[in-house]
């Protein structure tokens, strides 16, 4: 799967986004080494703080299906003018399982940029930090 195809999978998740409060749909697509892709969308709630981001939806789907140590690339797609980089909570959740993950952040015009999670969350706190 190419980076472009993974970003398109993330954009396709906008159709399932539940974002009546922010009106900001976000989609995510998480690629594993064997080619499996876990997708997600943001799911908001009338109790605003209970909302979950698209990235964490995809993460929870992957972990709960037995994929937690084989992630290669995560694509995130927003509709804004800025690239949709993951929020702090998502960076931390992702770091637990894949500190070296590649992250593709797309914006409304379909273009995207790439970074490593280790760049987005330098000196992160992970499982090794508890040793």
Nearer Cβ to ligand THU (34/82): 82
Query: Which of residues 22 and 127 has its CB atom nearest to ligand THU in the complex?
Result: 22
**How far is Cα of residue 111 from the mean position of the Cα atoms in its chain?**
16
CA distance 107 to 92: 22
Tracing tokens 């929020």 back to the chain, one arrives at: 87
CB of 34 to ligand THU, least distance (A): 25
Q: Which of 84, 103, 104, 106 binds ligand THU (CB under 6 A)?
A: 84
Residue with smaller CB distance to ligand THU, 40 or 67: 40
For the CB of residue 40, give the shortest distance to ligand THU in the complex, in Å: 8
Query: Binder to ligand THU among 53, 94, 101, 117 (CB under 6 A)?
Result: 53
Known catalytic residue at 55: yes
Residues in the site for ligand THU, rule: CB under 6 A?
Answer: 19, 22, 24, 26, 42, 44, 51, 53-55, 76, 84, 86-87, 90
């Amino acid at each position: 799967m190419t980076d472009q195809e993974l970003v398109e999978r993330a954009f396709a998740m906008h159709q399932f986004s539940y974002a009546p409060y922010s009106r900001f749909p976000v989609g995510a697509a998480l690629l594993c080494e064997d080619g499996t892709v876990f997708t997600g969308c943001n799911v908001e709630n009338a109790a605003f703080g209970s909302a979950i981001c698209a990235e964490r939806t995809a993460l929870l789907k992957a972990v709960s299906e037995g994929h937690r140590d084989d992630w290669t690339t995560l694509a995130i797609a927003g509709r804004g003018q800025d690239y949709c980089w993951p929020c702090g909570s998502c960076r931390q959740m992702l770091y637990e399982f894949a500190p070296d993950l590649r992250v593709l952040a797309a914006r409304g015009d379909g273009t995207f940029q790439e970074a490593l999670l280790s760049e987005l969350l330098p000196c992160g706190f992970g499982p090794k930090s508890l040793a």
